[in-house]
Amino acid sequence: MTIDKIQPTTLPSVVETKVTKTAEEADKARALTTQRTLDNNQQAAARAAAANEVVTLPVKVSTTAQQMLQASRLASDGKESFDAKKVERLRREIMEGRFPIDEERLARKVMELEQQLGDLGRG
């Protein structure tokens, strides 16, 4: 007895249906697990708020945000970054027309800032 050709067979529809249902059930189980995790986080936050406690939930900080923070720290170099009296004095001088503005220097600084910000977006 010899076999000349092997006939391809198809899976019965019962098996195909079962595989599809199993995949759907797995998707539903994953969605339910995710929802339960969210619900648990919300419940923990509500309990902590009621008890005036601090809740720590996971947070992902983007690379760009980390780079901006680092650039800010490097730029401030440990100095106070805001002097309200100086700002008010400069505002008054500008409003009264007594503050000289070097347009070329200002344009150069704006271009430098744009370049730095552009570099941060490429990370």
* Per-residue pLDDT tens digits of the chain, which is 123 residues long: 455 555 555 555 555 555 566 777 877 888 888 888 778 777 777 777 777 766 677 888 888 888 888 888 777 766 666 788 999 999 999 889 998 889 999 999 999 999 888 877 665
Amino acid in position 80: E
3-class DSSP assignment, residue 103: helix
d(CA 46, CA 118) in angstroms, rounded, equals 40
User: CB of 116 within 8 A of CB of 71?
Assistant: yes
Of the candidates 26, 9, 7, 29, the residue with the CA atom closest to the CA atom of residue 18: 26
Of the candidates 118, 122, 121, the residue with the CA atom closest to the CA atom of residue 110: 118
d(CA 92, CA 87) in angstroms, rounded, equals 9
Amino acid in position 86: K
